[in-house]
Amino acid sequence: MEDVARRHLRALWSWLPLVAYAGFLIYLSSQPVYEFPPLPFWMADKLVHMALYSVLGALGGRAASRAGLGRRAGLVLAGLVAFGLLDEWYQQFTPGRSSDLLDALADAIGASAGFLLVLRYHRGRHVSRHSPLR
């Protein structure tokens, strides 16, 4: 029984940061444009999108590696990219905000980069040098 409780706690701790951060991103998307400081240069918002979504991707990679998803981890990445698309769509309902395909692309690039970096880190630390997964 203890083993089952420990696995449930581990699963909760694996996925909860990802879900909480996704909620934070939805909160940011709900803020009117005038709530944010002006950006210093043209297209700086794309870098902000990449940075924010790289954290989401890293948390997704962490959750996928802790859950032992292996080759199915790509489904988590697909979910993160879909979340970025839905977030961009949702922004059009916030005053002063709009949907932008370049923002969605920046979200996807950031999420992919963070996700792949964490998976690579995890595999480098937790897979032996003689494993067929390397």
Residue 37 vs residue 57, higher pLDDT? 57
Question: 18: pLDDT confidence band, cut at 50, 70 and 90?
Answer: very high
pTM: 0.86
22 part of a folded domain: yes
CA separation (Å) from 106 to 11, 38, 52, 67, 125?
29, 19, 10, 27, 29
Domain that includes residue 107, residue range: 2-126
- 132 band by pLDDT with thresholds 50, 70 and 90: very low
In a domain? residue 36: yes
Between helix 2-29 and helix 73-91 the angle, nearest 10°, is 30
| Count of domains forming the chain | 1
Identify whether 133 is part of a domain. no
Q: Residue 121: inside a domain, yes or no? A: yes
Is 134's pLDDT higher than 70?
no
Does the structure show a pLDDT above 50 at 133?
A: no
Q: What is the mean pLDDT of residues 91-103?
A: 93
pLDDT beyond 70 at 68: yes
